[in-house]
Every structure is written in C-alpha cells, then in structure tokens.
Structure 1
Amino acid sequence: MRVSLFITCLADQIYPEVGESVVRLLHRYGCEVDFPQMQTCCGQPAYNSGYQDEAREVARSLIRAFEHSDYVVSPSGSCTGMVHHYYPQLFENEPEWKTKAEKLIGKTYEFSQFLVNVLGIKDLGAVYEGKATYHPSCHAMRLLGVREEPGELMAHIKGLELVELPRKEDCCGFGGTFAVKMADMSEAMVCEKAANVCATNADLLIGTDMGCLMNIGGRLNKENKPVRVMHLAQLLEEGVKRGERHGK
C-alpha cells in the first residue's frame, strides 16, 4: 500500500518526531511511505482569517502535491478537517478544481482513522505502563467524526490506564489564529483545560493534534505540572518498542 505523509506545518517545523513515529508505524504494517516535497500549509490560517483567495492558492498547491498519491495520511485532525470540510467550499465556483479537491478528500485520512478504518488495526501489541487521559481535538471530532478510533487504539495498549478527561469536548482555546486574536479568552480556556487534565492525576496527556497539545502542554509547563504530553502516534510507537522488548 502506497501512502503519502501530509506532515502539516506544526509537525514539520516544531514536532518532526511525530511524523517520524507515523512513518515507522506505517512501515511496520507494510505501507510504502513517501513525502511529496511540494506540500505546504493546508491554508487553514489564511481561511480562518478571512483571506479566501490566499487560502485557495495554498489549497491548489496541496492538491497538486498529492495528486498522484494513493492514500494521504496526516497526524492532524485539524488540517485533515480543513481539506475535508472546507476545500469544496473554496472551489465551489471552479468545477475542475472542486473535482480535484474531492479526489484528495476521498484518499486523505487522519492517522488513527487510517489505522483503524483502512488498515483494520486496533491492537499493535503495544505495552505502556502509565496513567493517561485523552483530549479530543475539536476539528478531528466535529469536522472528521474521529471519536472512537483513538480510544480503540489506546484500549489495546497493555498496562495503560485511561482516565476520562472532565469536560473533554471543551475546546482548549488554541484554534490557530483564535489564540492570537482573542488572547485573553484563549488563556482562560486553556487554564480550564489544564486544570481538568490535572484533576485526572494522569501521567500522560494524549492527543491527535499538535496545536492542541502545544497549547495545553505549554500551560502545564508554565504551571510546573508533571504531565508528559504526547501525540497518539508517539505513544503507540513507544508502546510497540516496549512490547517487543517485553516479548523477548
């Protein structure tokens, strides 16, 4: 199976280790992974700021980058949600590009979606002793409908105690440009989210979007809270390695 990695801006520039974990896990299950060098931003920051023409140009670049890919997999529900939910609207008056956008949508998946719904994998044989809580990011949950897949993957990690996050469906306050435009409100939201994370007494905070994890992790760090923040792909990869050592 040929898969193209859609790395996203945050993972590419700040959290490349997340992309590396995704690639190693896909290789483990027989996927041939490539990385189209043409890929850039999905256009979400421009779109959210009202610059639709600029967002449209960026979207064209992304469509071209993955035009010949069989599958496109991303460690971000937010960027994947932008493609799925807003690209048809961006090209509503351009039939040729709308068709190309719909083709991209049909083969683009958030990481946990791809593992569970395409590869049919829920149990990776991972082992991870610890107590974790999970933050479901807004765009993955509401735009893509990613609700069960992360939990199904974590439920099969031996030794992991998963504690439900209070008010888990509340936004963390990041929202990309929202955190800049509405800084005071954003701070209040992330403070509440961090307090809810701490209330679980979890050692780990797991998520599927680095924007949310960067925001919440930054707040936890500022408050000197000893909670490790990890993307789901990182947790699974570390768990697989521990499982292999445990098996030996």
Structure 2
Amino acid sequence: MKWVAGIILVFGLWTVGYGNGNAASGIQFSGRTLQSAPDGRLRQAKVFVGDNRVRMEYRKKELDIVEIYDLENGRILLLVPQQKLYMQRALPAGKMINPLLPPGDSNPCSVLAEGQCRKLGNEEVYGRPVSRWEVTVERKGERLRSLHWIDDERLMSLRDVWPDGSVSELMLIDIEQLNGRMAEHWQRTTAPSEGEHYVTNLWYDPELGMIVREERPGGYIREIKDIQIGKQPAELFHVPEDYRLIEDDAGKQELQTGRH
C-alpha cells in the first residue's frame, strides 16, 4: 500500500490536525486547490464538496486520479478513470481525514482520536471567548501534554502551548477581499523554545467556515480558488457501475503501472 500513500491525500489542502481554523458550515461548493513551493513546483486539483463527501480530481504522472472522501460511509475511494479501476479503504475510526469537511465542535479530540482531551474552562483571548483544553497523547512511551485556547466562534486555536515549550498565537488582522470573496485575515506567530519565531498568514472564509488561503514561511502557499457555491451532483461521489474493484497485490500493480 506504500504507493497508494503517495496518492491518497496528496492534494488535501491542509494537514489534518486541530487548530487549522475550520468550522463545519454544511455549504456545498466546487473550486480549485493549488499548492505552490519556492522552487516553482505547482500542484493543483479540482475539488467538489458535497453533503458529507469530498471529491478531488488531479493528474499524477500519466494518470487521471479521483479521490472521494465518503465520511457518511467511513471510506476513501481511489479511482483511475482511464482504466475504470478503483480501490477503497476505511477511514480510521473517530478521525476526520479530509480538512474540507472540518469538525463542528471545539473538542480537539474530534480530529485527534488517539488523544485524551479535557476541557479546563472558558476564558477570553484578545477579547474573544475561548474554551481552554488540555490534550494528552502517548508518543514512544512518553506522555505529552499541550494546552489549547479554542475560539468559540471560529473553532480555531488562538493560543497553543506545546510539549517542547514552543508557543503559538493567532490574531485577527483585517477583513479583506480574496478572489472575489470576503475573508478574515488571521496571522499565527510561533515562538519555538529555541530559535527565531516564524509567521503564517491565514485567510478564513466565514461563509464556507474554513481557511481558503495559507502562506507559510519560506514561500509555501496553499489555497482554494474559483469557488462556486451550489449543490453538487450526487453521482460525483459514487463509483461508476462499470469500474472494477482492485483488492489483491496483482491488481494494485496493474493500477500502478497502467497495465490491463
């Protein structure tokens, strides 16, 4: 399954993890995701967000690839249209996989199944009401503890204190127009326990309830563009009847090499 890992989630816009600023809005839409790097590499995909499902289309080498994240049925589908083949695997229990369908509550463990979360109380950070959480995880036999102040409205973490002593702070900078849509410009400053601090800029779309652009240190940019609000056709999230399911190793090799 290693070769599959190189395809699955390659175009997920944000790595799964709490504090990405996502809040479930229930709005269906289509768009285009882009990831650019300082060396000029550009990855892009079409994306369709439906009712608890996400479809992503992109090209990898000589193959057109379709990923379908079906949260209702707890599975990920990988389709190769040229060969009319597909694979499927189960979503890990209790963990949100695709960040385009973000969580709807402030509990960090809604996306961190292996963690233990305890709410410590309600406070204010930068004049905004937050819920304070303690998260504990086991890593290589070591018990690691972190603290997170989650914005009650945006479900973003406004402050994080990590096990290594580093601290992250997130502040609202301005309201701006981005690709023809209104967006909130947020800025996250991270101060490591050693070394210089670094800054990440985020643009949050209140209508979609998610971050639509991220500028990371070093010139890395990820965003969703050409957003079109509207109900997505149900057939986008189903496997066509004439596709063949690949289950054994020989079938995986067939899918990988393009042989029939």
Q: TM-score, normalised by structure 1?
A: 0.30
Q: TM-score, normalised by structure 2?
A: 0.29
- Structure with bigger helix share is 1
Larger radius of gyration: 2
- Structure with bigger strand share is 2
